[in-house]
Chain A
Amino acid sequence: MRAMGSRLRGNDIQKAGVAARSPIKLRFLPILSSAAMTIAPPDASPPFLSIRNLVKEFDTVRAVDDVSLSIGKGEIFALLGSSGCGKSTLLRMLAGFETPTAGTIALAGKDIVGVPPYERPINMMFQSYALFPHLTVWDNIAFGLRRDGLPKDEVASRVEQMLALVQLGSFGKRKPHQLSGGQQQRVALARSLAKSPQLLLLDEPLGALDKKLRERTQIELVNIIGQVGVTCVMVTHDQAEAMSMATRIAVMSEGRILQVGAPGEIYETPNCRFVADFIGSVNLFEGRVREDAPDHVIVDSRECSHYVSHGITGTAAMEVAVAVRPEKIALQATAPSAAQRESAAEDGYNCSAGNIATISYFGNETLYHVLLDSGMTIKVARTNAARHEQSRLERGQRVHAWWDGSDIVVLTA
């Protein structure tokens, strides 16, 4: 694992994010056509969309606090955070509906702050779709094209093209209220792509759909965007949506960017407690650094001592947290033997004993809450890979939880 977790702040995170694009674990990438996989090389040419020190203040509240991002052409970039973190405000500033208090936004080298929304080569797909109720599907899609004064036959062929792209060819004559939710979304997408914008903005694209439809739509959406090859910035509070659709994610909280990186990076190497906890579930062991070597770190915490297989930039006796994901922990009735371990050096580390407090069965997965002897409760997730459980665990049973040093991360923030 890479060296991460030093005391990083805003700009550094972005730089790290840019540098980290190279060693991406391929299995975390969504289904993209090869054309869309081109990601801007780090700092070799100016990024397609460049946001520098952007600030937005409402009265005394800073909704967006000194945000800087570099987004490459063809990327699907997600702004992820809970409500009130500033992601929607940031998106609206990109669209032109809000004016930044300070900072710059450059699209393909041109500064667009101060350019009104109707003059920007940017189009947005709204969360509520915002289809014009008094116009047919055909006219909705043609709307933007007509504002540009294109000749009638060009408009017509483009609209037909868009309808074919979203597979709504025969629905041209219908009005929005005659469409289902999923169909309305496709019209909204077609409408926002009709003018071949340089940047496509998606505001909570899957928020209004139910679960089944959401899964199907995710894939369709990414395919269409990839097919068209447009650069895309999306906003969402749903981390599963961000992880499965985006090429890179920026995690935001209280107007600031906490971490930028590919989904796998964010998940496996979070840079702070907040990010670790926001994405998926995590167990955080608070402890102190005992030994700091270039290739490993030993951290003492109340539950056990941790042997982490990567170095950190830090000092001995530093207070840190060790983050262990639930699915990386193994449970067994007896203590792990030396043979089970990754390396001899780990024997005696990364292991703690306790009793199973609760078992939550989800069908494909079982979640165990284990109350360790130290008093901390940890979450352990197990995939039910076979129909019949080989090692059955029961409530109250005494178990040993252990993990590999290469599967854990030290967090200094």
Chain B
Amino acid sequence: MNARSLLQRWFGRGWLSLGYLFLYLPIVVLVVFSFNSSRQDMVWSGFSTQWYGALANDAEIINGFGLSLKIAVMSACSAVTLGSFAAFVLDRYKRFTGRMLFSGMASAPLVMPEVIIGLSLLLMLVAVQKMFGFPERGMFTIWIGHTLLGMAYAAVVVQSRLQEMSPALQEAAMDLGCKPHQVFFLVTLPNITQALASAWLLTFTLSLDDVVLSAFLSGPGSSTMPIVIFSRARLGLDPRVNAVATLTILVVSIGVIVSSLLMARAERRRMAQVAAAAKA
């Protein structure tokens, strides 16, 4: 190996390491200081799990978490459903009136600043409330906002999977006697389950974590956990927040690592089967 590629290899490793360090530094800090026994200073003054105990008595955070969880589950389901519709439409129907508008609307929430989306949605909901007397701002309105946001992400995930699927599969189904809706339920759907699952997890996480939309669309008594954390974070440092963070990180890490391992194992098994068949 010559000097130049050796240099490149070490430079690459160095850059990656520094990058990962940058990405993980805050996470490590959060976790470490959730066990700090002192409250204010970011000085290590002894190991303590008091903040986890305090968390158990923290009604605001616990209620917020419960609400966030409910909204996240609901909006994940609705976002995946609507996103799949949108993905299917964009993948299947290449020509219809308003396609460009539709495509733009479906992907805009991916990049649009949330403040813009939140403000607009809120103004409309206020107008609707004036006219029809409903909906009150609260869980329902937050759910609407999260569904809108999640739908864009879900559409991207599902659409990329649909594009991978060969159109011959759907044609074969029709050729064998499936009417169009049967094609969807019997052939398309079973082959996109993994994409649907990742879209669900993605939109679930997005909803659980969302601050801005929730703040605009919430009402009295419907403070989600991120709203609670945000208002405390504005005021200063609170080790209970660190405790929440650590728990979140723990759950997420386990989830991501386990699913990655499972996927890798399934992929390996599948490759082995294909290789065995080719030899037969």
* Complex CA distance for A147 and B182, rounded to whole angstroms: 9
Chain B CB count within 10 A is highest, among A97, A122, A127, A191, for A97
Min Cβ gap A162→B in Å is 13
A180:B174 contact, CB within 8 angstroms: no
Most buried by A among B166, B176, B177, B191: B176
A130 touches B172 (CB 8 A): yes
Q: Which of A83-133 contact B (CB under 8 A)?
A: 95-97, 116-118, 122-124, 126-128, 130, 132-133
Answer whether residue B101 sits at the interface, using C-beta atoms and an 8 A cutoff. no
Interface residue? A27 (CB, 8 A): no
- Are A117 and B270 in contact, with the CB atoms below 8 A? no
Q: Are A178 and B166 in contact (CB under 8 A)?
A: no
Write the chain B residue with the least CB distance to A95. B175
- Beta-carbon contact of B171 and A130 below 8 Å: yes
- Secondary structure of the B contact surface, majority rule: helix
Q: How far is the CA of A279 from the CA of B272 in the complex (A)?
A: 43
Are B172's CB and A195's CB within 8 A? no
Whether the Cβ atoms of B171 and A148 lie closer than 8 Å is no
Please encode chain B, from 147 to 173, with 1 for each CB lying within 8 Å of some chain A CB and 0 for all others: 000000000000000000010110111
Q: Choose one: B169, B175, B280; the contact of A123 (CB below 8 Å).
A: B175
8 Å CB contact of B171 from A97, A132, A144, A177: A97
A355 at the interface (CB under 8 A from B): no
Q: A130-B169, A177-B277, A183-B277 are in contact. Are A191 and B176 (CB under 8 A)?
A: yes
B177 and A177: CB pair below 8 A?
A: no
Contacts of A143 in B (CB 8 A): 173, 176
Tell me, in angstroms, the Cα distance from A123 to B173 when the chains sit together.
Answer: 10
**A43-61 near B? 1/0 per residue, CB < 8 Å:** 0000000000000000000
Cβ of A117 and Cβ of B187 under 8 Å apart?
no
In the assembled complex, which residues on chain B have CB atoms less than 8 Å from the CB atom of A97?
A: 171, 174
Answer whether residue A216 sits at the interface, using C-beta atoms and an 8 A cutoff. Answer: no
Instruction: Tell me which residues across on chain B come within 8 A of A130, comparing CB atoms.
Output: 166, 168-169, 171-172
Residues in B neighbouring A147, C-beta threshold 8 A: 176-178, 182
Contact A128 B166 (CB under 8 A): yes
Question: Is B179 an interface position by the 8 A CB rule?
Answer: yes
* Chain B residues, Cβ within 8 Å of A124: 171-172, 175
Q: B278 near A118 (CB under 8 angstroms)?
A: no
Indicate the member of A95, A130, A147, A181 with the most B CB atoms within 10 Å. A130
Q: Are A144 and B278 in contact (CB under 8 A)?
A: no
User: With an 8 A cutoff between CB atoms, is A134 at the interface?
Assistant: yes
Name B274's closest neighbour in chain A (CB-CB): A177
| Contact surface of A with B, Cβ cutoff 8 Å | 95-97, 116-118, 122-124, 126-128, 130, 132-134, 143-144, 147-148, 177-181, 183, 191-192, 195
Q: List 14 A-B contacts (CB under 8 A).
A: A96-B174, A97-B171, A116-B174, A116-B179, A118-B174, A118-B177, A126-B171, A126-B172, A130-B166, A130-B169, A130-B171, A177-B274, A180-B277, A195-B177
Known: A118-B178, A130-B166. 15 other contacts (CB 8 A): A124-B175, A126-B172, A130-B171, A132-B169, A132-B172, A132-B187, A134-B190, A143-B173, A144-B176, A147-B177, A147-B182, A148-B177, A178-B277, A180-B277, A183-B280
Chain B residues in the interface with A (C-beta under 8 A): 166, 168-169, 171-179, 182, 187, 190-191, 270, 273-274, 276-280
